[in-house]
């Protein structure tokens, strides 16, 4: 389905009934990240699965910020009439957006799941590298990002078929969407103060073999967030929901089942 938000046609899927969960993919990925876990969860929950602006089947804007992505999600919830607090599941850049969503719309968050992500901002070197990559994408199209990301997304045990599938998805991502996301990530703030102030339950999920957002980042987040627990997905790199979907689903399910039901 599509909805127009801020003048852009944004794609999303909604399925199931029950308390709401929104699943937010990372960069430069798409809602297809969640395909392996949606069928199991939609029997018990209402799943809201957007393509972020500039990704998947959503139109791109020339610029973006974490605030803009977060407000797109809030507007989507409004459009589909979802007024209950949601479980917000953010993977990688989806985690950066989840922090911003929490800062801007905290009364709409029932619980946070921060998967394969980190709370610190880019250091000056990392921000500069992202901006340089953005300039290359403006000149050359998305190939430099596809070549840069594919080897780093997956752990050593990921199949060739899975890598090829995601190579295709990354290659189809619009260069404008990639440039806007790179700039947005370079500008994002430190989210450790946010984590320290979170009052809802938090699940932190890390891939055992993730080199993009390593386990050390996840441990730092867990220490900073008073209401958090950390689960490690065995044999997985950065793409936990597709590399070991059974383990990802199991830790998510357990967390969901243990949530206090009072606020829904
Ligand atoms: C992502 O998967 O969303 C990105 O790798 C995050 C990042 O580059 O910081």
Q: Which of 212, 221, 242, 243 to mutate to test the pocket of ligand 1 (most atoms within 8 A of CB)?
A: 212
Check pocket membership of 93 for ligand 1, CB cut-off 6 A: yes
**In which residue are the tokens 């009934």 written?**
17
Ligand 1 atom showing the smallest separation from residue 117 Cα: 6
* Nearest-angstrom CA–CA distance, 137 and 217: 28
Per-residue pLDDT reduced to its tens digit, 29-69: 999 999 999 999 999 999 999 999 999 999 999 999 999 99
**All domains in the chain, ordered by first residue:** 2-258 (3.40.50.1820)
Q: Give the whole-number percent of the chain exceeding pLDDT 70.
A: 99
**Residue 194, pLDDT above cutoff 60:** yes
Spacing, Cα 204 to ligand 1 middle (Å): 16
What is the pLDDT at residue 227? Answer: 85
Per-residue pLDDT reduced to its tens digit, 12-33: 999 999 999 999 999 999 999 9
- Mean residue pLDDT of the chain comes to 97
Q: How many CB atoms lie within 10 A of CB 152?
A: 11
Cis peptide before 28 (omega within 30 of 0): yes
What is the pLDDT at residue 262? Answer: 55
* Nearest-angstrom CA–CA distance, 118 and 218: 7
**Residue 263, pLDDT above cutoff 60:** no
Per-residue pLDDT reduced to its tens digit, 128-140: 999 999 999 999 9
Per-residue pLDDT reduced to its tens digit, 71-90: 999 999 999 999 999 999 99
Check pocket membership of 185 for ligand 1, CB cut-off 6 A: yes
Among 120, 100, 96, residue whose Cα is nearest residue 108: 100
What confidence tier does 226 reach under pLDDT thresholds 50, 70, 90?
A: confident
* Nearest-angstrom CA–CA distance, 255 and 251: 6
Ligand 1 atom showing the smallest separation from residue 95 Cα: 3
What is the pLDDT at residue 223? Answer: 97
Q: How many CB atoms lie within 10 A of CB 196?
A: 12
């Amino acid at each position: 389905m599509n909805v127009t938000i801020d003048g852009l046609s944004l794609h999303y899927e909604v399925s199931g009934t029950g308390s709401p969960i929104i699943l937010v993919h990372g960069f430069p990925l798409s809602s297809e990240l969640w395909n392996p876990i949606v069928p199991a969860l939609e029997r018990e929950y209402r799943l809201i699965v957007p393509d972020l602006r500039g990704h998947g089947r959503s139109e791109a804007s020339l610029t973006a910020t974490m605030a803009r992505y977060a407000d797109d999600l809030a507007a989507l919830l409004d459009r589909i009439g979802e007024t209950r607090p949601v479980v917000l599941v953010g993977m990688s850049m989806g985690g950066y957006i989840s922090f911003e969503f929490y800062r801007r719309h905290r009364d709409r968050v029932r619980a946070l799941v921060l998967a394969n992500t980190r709370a610190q901002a880019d250091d000056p070197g990392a921000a500069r590298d992202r901006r340089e990559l953005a300039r290359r994408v403006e000149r050359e199209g998305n190939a430099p990002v596809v070549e840069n990301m594919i080897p780093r997304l997956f752990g050593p045990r990921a199949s060739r078929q899975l890598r090829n599938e995601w190579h295709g998805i990354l290659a189809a991502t619009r260069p404008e969407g990639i440039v806007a996301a790179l700039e947005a990530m370079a500008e994002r703030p430190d989210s450790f103060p946010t984590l320290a102030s979170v009052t809802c339950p938090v699940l932190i999920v890390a891939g055992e073999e993730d080199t993009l957002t390593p386990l050390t980042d996840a441990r730092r987040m867990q220490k900073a967030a008073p209401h958090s627990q950390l689960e490690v997905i065995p044999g997985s790199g950065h793409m936990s929901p597709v590399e070991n979907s059974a383990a990802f689903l199991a830790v998510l399910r357990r967390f969901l089942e243990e949530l206090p039901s009072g606020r829904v």
